[in-house]
A = this chain, B = another copy of it.
């Protein structure tokens, strides 16, 4: 066996074990008896210790030294294995263990502080997390930019400087759009009570319509919707709220985007390093284009309206045009996860600036809440009323996810680029959307993006699909056009 083949056999087993660990996470949020939590923590820790030992196994370094790639797929596999091995080798075991210990405790402390709106109860823990992440970033950066080093965990190849410049171009136009839209009257919302069983049936119907393969997946309920797994076993979850069927519907469509990406990676890559979505940004581009550019389009609303009538009976909205307006209602709000398309990226831009300042020691944890509230007032025109609506709202920082937030907006930017290219390449796109035939759109995404998995770098993945370097202009143009028309601005 060649060094490459030995390395791939080892990596394949590691990937199979990682899938098992991921499925434990799915089980925990959907099926696990509530009393099993303490045992599950030990099971997860055991899996983590096995995976950690494999990721830092000295044989991997040895194989990497000797392995030669004779094809682009092999080169990509080696690149991905080397990245993970280098990362694991750079972080001292003591620091990795301390990070695992602190972040696993921090999540509970954060949840309690948020529930009690007690920012002081969380800040000492966040200070520890930030301090450890600064240390980890420095170990990874090897003298280069610390935040950039952390960013690579989520978006390999991206740089804070490039994101900063792009976000700076986006911010004034998003603030202006937000102000203009909020000056106008909002269209009617959907009113009524909606059977939760019917919501789940509609969720599964819509998932199938959007190309999610139920033979290699399933849809269940969870408190926080998520997608999990790759290859032949990709499961998604959604939630239901009797007052708001859009919550279930658009959570489902969003997770279908993530899930379809993982399902549509080329079968040859199953359980290999390239057999997974390439980055958070590209992943989010898929969930967002399904959710927004496709799922919240006027054409899709024409198909959706009779489906909703069939699921729920008569609707309070008179027609598909009213449904289109209702699923695109813009409203002021504090919470990122509830934000509409106009507000969403403004939430991200402020988190990106704040977390870069934290990592670069330009901002200390004790000043974070004040900085958050000042920035929110500036960009959203509203004062934060309480910490759970402000600095305590997101779980990310508590579990050490610094460098993750910008990938949400990067995903939106990529979705904008892909949508423009798709409109150019797929002549009957709107006809398909309006008749519930999503295959022209989803086949394009499969063949241009999803099938590649980790074969190309993230930005190259998008560039190859679009035939041009990705930038923010298509997203901004799409938002200004769609909401300008809907709100008459």
Q: Nearest Cβ in chain B — how far from A104, in angstroms?
A: 16
Cross-chain contact A217 with B33 (CB below 8 angstroms):
yes
Cβ-closest chain B residue relative to A38: B232
- Whether, in the assembled complex, A208 has its beta carbon less than 8 Å from a beta carbon of chain B, the answer is no
Cross-chain contact A46 with B215 (CB below 8 angstroms):
no
Interface centre among A39, A215, A270 (most CB of B within 10 A): A39
Cβ-closest chain B residue relative to A40: B233
- Whether, in the assembled complex, A214 has its beta carbon less than 8 Å from a beta carbon of chain B, the answer is yes
Cβ-closest chain B residue relative to A54: B50
Give A17 to B49 CA distance when docked, in angstroms.
10
Q: Nearest Cβ in chain B — how far from A230, in angstroms?
A: 9
- Whether, in the assembled complex, A86 has its beta carbon less than 8 Å from a beta carbon of chain B, the answer is no
Q: How many copies does the complex hold?
A: 2
Q: Nearest Cβ in chain B — how far from A273, in angstroms?
A: 15
Choice from B19, B20, B45 contacting A16 with Cβ under 8 Å: B45
Cross-chain contact B232 with A39 (CB below 8 angstroms):
yes
Give A271 to B27 CA distance when docked, in angstroms.
19
Chain A contact residues: helix, strand, loop or mixed: helix
What is the interface size of chain A, counting residues whose CB is below 8 A from a CB of the partner? Answer: 38
Cross-chain contact A43 with B16 (CB below 8 angstroms):
yes
Cross-chain contact B17 with A47 (CB below 8 angstroms):
yes
Chain B residues whose CB sits within 8 angstroms of the CB of A120 once the complex forms:
none
When A20-B47, A23-B27, A49-B13 are in contact, do A216 and B42 touch as well, CB less than 8 Å?
A: no
Cβ-closest chain B residue relative to A23: B27
Chain B residues whose CB sits within 8 angstroms of the CB of A232 once the complex forms:
33, 35-40
Cross-chain contact B46 with A214 (CB below 8 angstroms):
no
Chain B residues whose CB sits within 8 angstroms of the CB of A100 once the complex forms:
none
Q: Nearest Cβ in chain B — how far from A18, in angstroms?
A: 9
Contact code string A248-283 (vs B, CB < 8 Å = 1, else 0):
000000000000000000000011000000000000
Using a CB–CB cutoff of 8 Å, the interface residues on chain A facing chain B are: 12-13, 16-17, 19-20, 23-24, 27, 31-40, 42-43, 45-47, 49-50, 213-218, 231-233, 235, 270-271
The list of the 8 closest CB pairs from A to B, nearest first, reads: A36-B233, A16-B46, A35-B215, A39-B232, A35-B216, A36-B232, A13-B46, A16-B43
